[in-house]
Amino acid sequence: LLLDGTRKDIVFKFLVNQPMTVKQLSVAMKKKPGTVLHHVQKLKSAGIIDLVETRETPRGIVERYYRAVAREFRLGISERMSSYDEAPVASKDQVMAALLGLSTLGIHITESEIDHARSILQRLVDREAEVSKVYDSPGNHAFQSLPPSTRSDVSYRMSQFLLSQDATYKRTLSEWHDLISRYLRKIESEAV
């Protein structure tokens, strides 16, 4: 539910900070009130937000104020992964799926760090794709004619070599290692 961009914004950009009406949200988000109302109703029925106040204006209009029930939410992996299907997905969706998949290992990237983690991992994925173009191009008929398992093995080995020589990739990989290491240290300290 919170993987939808509009719902995520409603909760984390607005309703964790202050109660707001659907009209206030629609103005702040530059979206139609009907669209925002639909998402607010979904979030309310899921228990993620609550109706915290109702006011009647001098003109008789009832204003309903909603607020997030918590400042941080942890979703189970099954709920997170249910937003992804088996169809091919864009690179950024694969990155998000990988980040969410880390929770199966006990690594729960917080909402406040998810954009940073996504940025790091996306840079790694983008650089890996760029490097693979060096040898894996449609014009490289010899490479393309290899059996799929051999082509995959050669591709893996060549990527590993080229990326190990790439200073930008190594810096980004170091950022990724630092981020994941922090979470692993937290897991270890909680286990003690």
Q: Which tokens is 106 given?
A: 């006990």
CB within 8 Å of 111: residues ≥ 6 apart = 12, 72, 73
The enclosing domain of 31 has a CATH number of 1.10.10.10
Contact 21, 63 (CB under 8 A): yes
Instruction: Check whether residue 157 and residue 89 sit in a common domain.
Output: yes
Structure tokens at 19: 């109660």
Same domain (yes/no): 81, 63: no
* 22 and 86 co-located in one domain: no
| 87 and 137 both lie in a single domain | yes
Identify whether residues 137 and 108 lie together within a single domain: yes
Domain that holds residue 38: 5-68
Q: Do 86 and 60 fall within a single domain?
A: no
User: What is the DSSP code (8-state) at residue 104?
Assistant: G
pLDDT on residue 75: 46
Do 87 and 179 lie in one domain? The reply is: yes
Those residues with Cβ within 8 angstroms of residue 34's Cβ, 6 or more apart along the chain or in another chain? none
Tokens 């980004």 correspond to 172
> What is the pTM (predicted TM-score) of this model?
0.51
**95 and 161 inside one domain:** yes
Q: Could you report the per-residue pLDDT of 7-37, keeping only the tens digit for each?
A: 888 988 888 888 999 999 999 999 999 999 9
* pLDDT band at residue 71 under the 50/70/90 scheme: low
Residues 127 and 53 grouped into a single domain: no
Task: Check whether residue 107 and residue 180 sit in a common domain.
Answer: yes
Could you read off the pLDDT of 137-155 as tens digits, one per residue? 778 888 888 887 788 788 8
The count of domains in the chain is 2
Angle, CA of 135, 117 and 38, to the nearest 5°:
110
Q: Is residue 51 scored above 50 in pLDDT? A: yes
3-state secondary structure 20-85: ECHHHHHHHHCCCHHHHHHHHHHHHHCCCEEEEEEEECCCCCEEEEEEECCCCCCCCHHHHHCCCC
**Are 59 and 137 members of one domain?**
no
**Token pair in block for residue 129:** 């794709």
